[in-house]
A and B are shown apart, each in its own frame.
Chain A
Amino acid sequence: GQNIDQPTEMTATEGAIVQINCTYQTSGFNGLFWYQQHAGEAPTFLSYNVLDGLEEKGRFSSFLSRSKGYSYLLLKELQMKDSASYLCAVRSFLSNSGYALNFGKGTSLLVTP
C-alpha cells in the first residue's frame, strides 16, 4: 500500500526560502514527483526524482533519499504567486499491470508580504 505524508499547511514570507517535506512508504518505488496546484485548477508538474540527490530547476529544487523514504521541495525567492498547494506523488510499479501515481494530500503554502 501507499502512505505519503506531508505537512498540511505552511506559511512563509515573500523573498524567503521554504522547504516542504514528504515522507513515504511504498513497494515498487519508481520515482517521486512534485506538483503545484492552485485552488480550483489542475496540478502542474514541478519536478521528478528517481535517484538519490538534488534536482535543481530555477527557483525550485527537489531532493530524494530512497533509503529514508524522504523527499523535500525547496522553493527559493518566494513570490506571492507561489501561494498554492504542493503535492508529493510517488510512482510505484504494480505487478503485471504498469505503474500508479499516488498523491499525498498536499501542503497548502501561504506566502505573505
Chain B
Amino acid sequence: DSGVTQTPKHLITATGQRVTLRCSPRSGDLSVYWYQQSLDQGLQFLIQYYNGEERAKGNILERFSAQQFPDLHSELNLSSLELGDSALYFCASSSRGQGVDEQYFGPGTRLTVT
C-alpha cells in the first residue's frame, strides 16, 4: 500500500459524458501527478500540481482539467468523453516535486467509455 488513494476504482460511462476522478496523496506529500495508461500508449504524464498550483503539463487534452485543493487532494475532470479515453488513470504523489523525490502511485481508476 503506497498511501495514495484513488476513487472510484472502476467507472463505466457513455461517450459525451463527464467524470471526475479523485486522488488523495500520501500524508505530507505536496506534489500530485496524473497519468493515463492505455495498452498502446503506455504510461503518459498528464499534469502535476504542487501545493495547490499547477507545476508541469504533459500531454493533457483540452477536454481534461485538474486541480489540487487546499487539503492537497486532487481531482481530474474528463469531459466530452470519447471511446479512446478508456484507460487506467493513475495518480502519484511525492514530497517535493524535484530531487530524488520518488513518486508513489495510487491503485488507479479504470475508466471504460462505451
Contacts and interface: CB of A to CB of B under 8 A. Distances in A.
A26 B77 CA distance: 29
A42 B42 contact: no
A106 B57 contact: no
A97 B57 contact: yes
Interface of B: 2, 4, 33, 35, 41-45, 48, 50, 54-58, 90, 97-98, 100, 102-108
21 contacts: A33-B103, A41-B107, A42-B4, A45-B103, A48-B100, A48-B102, A87-B42, A87-B43, A94-B56, A98-B50, A98-B55, A98-B98, A99-B48, A99-B98, A100-B45, A100-B56, A100-B57, A101-B33, A102-B45, A103-B35, A103-B44
Residues of B contacting A: mostly: strand
Contacts of B41: 105
